Amino acid sequence: MKATTYIFAVLIGLFVAGVLQASDRWFTVFGARPLFILVFVACMGMVNRPAWGAGAGFLAGIVEGSLAGANLTQYVTSRALTGFCVAWVRSTDLQFGVILAAIGTLLSTLGANAILMIFAPPADIGSFIRATIFSAMYNGVLAMPLFAVLQHFAKPTKV
Amino acid sequence: MVGFLLGRVQTYHRVEGRPDPIANAIQSTILPPAAGLQGMMSGVNHFFSGLGQTPALQRENEALRQRVADFKNFEAREKALQQQIDALRKLSKLPPEPDKTRIPARVIQFSPHEARMTLNVGSEKGIKPGMAVLQGDGLLGVISTVSSGESQLNLVTSTQVRVGGMIVKEAVAAGLVRGQGPDSLVLEFIEGTVKVDVGDIVITSGYSKQIPRGIPIGQVESFEKEISYGNRRARLVPMARVGSALEVYVLR
């Protein structure tokens, strides 16, 4: 993916994901809230090199932390690490397909919120973990069409 | 590092009591379109929930249409009855209500045991205690208390109500009508000469500023003469049907 295309895609993608996440009550299914921004970070990581994955995660952390009204350091760190890790896994010659993208997004959601939990332990850890698991499954489903679109428009680049 | 710096900037602004510029900028960019999206989703949700409720809405619509049709029938019947009453008034040569305006009112409360009703009109419409309340053309009661937006009337069948009444035949038989129960009135005659028959109509005598002459009060059901007291009295069936009084008129 070219740098300009990448920046444009990240800005547009984060804007759309942010808008959807701020309206998440309409997308809540059986109590599971989708984390659109994390879905976007994971899918961007799957079609980009690690540095760009980390960059997308960094910006995603700013957006998500701002929307949550939380400390930006915790969100920026957890999302940037997630973006980097996903892109790094792809860089190890692992060929992501739609199913693998779903599983990868599920795991990256769990990982991102685990990192967030370490930086900022929530008051009710049990509820947080339960909500994260449901969100991770939801995110996995959402990642399939998004990854298919991103893969179509941005041919994954080799490192 | 940058993330840590962002956090420090954020904390600094919060400690200073100022809004965090970064979060503020992001929220200003994202929250307005999100609000628009939520409004749109809400509209879509209402549309689909409306589709789900279609059978119930159709049933409700049908019931409302039926009620409208019933109401139109009721209106037509009321109009026909009013015309009939007007014709009867002309035939009976009853005088019209002079200088009086009919104020339409709705009965909003009915206390049968106290023979009292509450109307939805009050002092703002110029209603005053002592004014006559009609149901159709029959006297239903007399206003007793008035407040803003509401007034109470004692039914003509209430023992607290005394109204001057008379029977107009070849001569006038005047007296005082008082309530005797839920559906019974008594007319005690002042003079004892005029012949009274069952079926005679008793109207208001008009010896009052607020209750004009000629309002039908009741119909003679029986007539008796109390020899021991030397007076005569007639039992009347009230013209007004208290149980079905919903829309009434106050004579102002």
Q: Which of A122, A138, A142, A139 is nearest to A30 (CA)?
A: A138
- For chain B, which ranges sit under pLDDT 70? 89, 91-98, 191-193, 226-230
**B76 contact A CB<8A:** no
Give me B80's structure tokens.
Answer: 């026909």
**B23 contact A CB<8A:** yes
Say which of A18, A58, A80 has its CB closest to residue B30: A18
pTM given for the model: 0.50
Beta strands B132-135 and B116-119: pairing type? Answer: unpaired
Spell out which residues of chain B touch residue A18, defining contact as CB-CB under 8 Å.
Answer: 26, 29-30, 34
The ipTM (two decimal places) reads 0.74
**Signed CA dihedral, A107, A112, A113, A114: sign only:** positive
Q: What is the mean pLDDT of chain A?
A: 85
For B72, phi then psi, to 5°, come to -65, -40
**B40 contact A CB<8A:** no
- The reported pLDDT for the residue numbered B63 is 93
**B63 contact A CB<8A:** no
Please tell me the distance from the alpha carbon of residue B217 to that of residue A137, in angstroms, as a whole number: 80
Cα of A97 to nearest chain B Cα, Å: 31
DSSP state of B215: -
Q: Which residue has the tokens 């599983």?
A: A103
Please tell me the distance from the alpha carbon of residue B148 to that of residue A61, in angstroms, as a whole number: 63
Q: A76 vs B38: CB contact, 8 Å cut-off? A: no
- The reported pLDDT for the residue numbered B153 is 92
Higher pLDDT, A95 or A51: A51
Q: A26 vs B33: CB contact, 8 Å cut-off? A: no
What residue in B sits closest to A78 (Cα-Cα)?
B3
Instruction: Give percent helix, percent strand, percent coil of chain A, each to the nearest 5.
Output: 80, 0, 20
Best probe of the B interface among A12, A15, A20, A23, by most B CBs < 10 A, is: A23
Give me B153's structure tokens.
Answer: 């009337």
- The reported pLDDT for the residue numbered B96 is 57
**Dihedral angle over CA of B38, B39, B44, B47, nearest 10:** 140
- The reported pLDDT for the residue numbered B231 is 72
Instruction: Judge whether residue A159 has pLDDT over 50.
Output: no
Q: A73 vs B23: CB contact, 8 Å cut-off? A: no
- The reported pLDDT for the residue numbered B97 is 60
Q: A26 vs B45: CB contact, 8 Å cut-off? A: yes
Query: What is the tens place of the pLDDT at every residue in A55-66?
Result: 889 999 989 888
What confidence category does residue A103 fall into, taking pLDDT thresholds of 50, 70 and 90?
A: very high
For A124, phi then psi, to 5°, come to -115, 90
Q: B31 vs A22: CB contact, 8 Å cut-off? A: yes
**A24 contact B CB<8A:** no
Best probe of the A interface among B20, B26, B48, by most A CBs < 10 A, is: B26
Query: What is the tens place of the pLDDT at every residue in B123-160?
Result: 998 999 999 999 877 899 999 999 988 999 999 988 88
Q: B3 vs A80: CB contact, 8 Å cut-off? A: yes
A24, A126 Cβ separation under 8 angstroms: no
Q: B3 vs A19: CB contact, 8 Å cut-off? A: no
For B150, phi then psi, to 5°, come to -145, 155
Q: B7 vs A76: CB contact, 8 Å cut-off? A: yes
Burial of B248 (0-12, 13-18, 19+ CB in 10 A): buried
Q: In terms of C-beta distances under 8 Å and separation of at least 24 residues, what long-range contacts does B195-198 make, across chains too? A: B195/B169, B196/B167, B196/B220, B196/B223, B196/B232, B196/B234, B197/B223, B198/B222, B198/B223
Cα of B1 to nearest chain A Cα, Å: 9
- The reported pLDDT for the residue numbered B118 is 92
Buried b or exposed e, range A29-57, using 16+ CB within 10 angstroms: eeebbbbbbbbbbbbbbbbbbbebbbbbb
- The reported pLDDT for the residue numbered A8 is 85
Beta carbons within 8 Å of A4's beta carbon, 6+ residues apart: none
Q: Which of B125, B155, B131 is nearest to B143 (CA)?
A: B131
- The reported pLDDT for the residue numbered B64 is 94
Spell out which residues of chain A touch residue B10, defining contact as CB-CB under 8 Å.
Answer: 71-72
Cα of B43 to nearest chain A Cα, Å: 12
Say which of B6, B34, B38 has its CB closest to residue A73: B6
Say which of B3, B8, B31 has its CB closest to residue A77: B3
Spell out which residues of chain A touch residue B7, defining contact as CB-CB under 8 Å.
Answer: 71-74, 76
Q: Which residues pair with B236 in a beta bridge?
A: B185, B220
- The reported pLDDT for the residue numbered A155 is 63
Q: B4 vs A23: CB contact, 8 Å cut-off? A: no
- Continuous H helices in chain B: 2-15, 21-52, 54-92
- The reported pLDDT for the residue numbered B9 is 77
Please tell me the distance from the alpha carbon of residue A151 to that of residue A4, in angstroms, as a whole number: 17
Number of helices followed by number of strands (H, E) in chain B: 3, 12
Query: What is the tens place of the pLDDT at every residue in B242-252?
Result: 777 888 999 88
**A143 contact B CB<8A:** no
Higher pLDDT, B117 or A123: B117
Q: Which residues pair with B153 in a beta bridge?
A: B117, B143
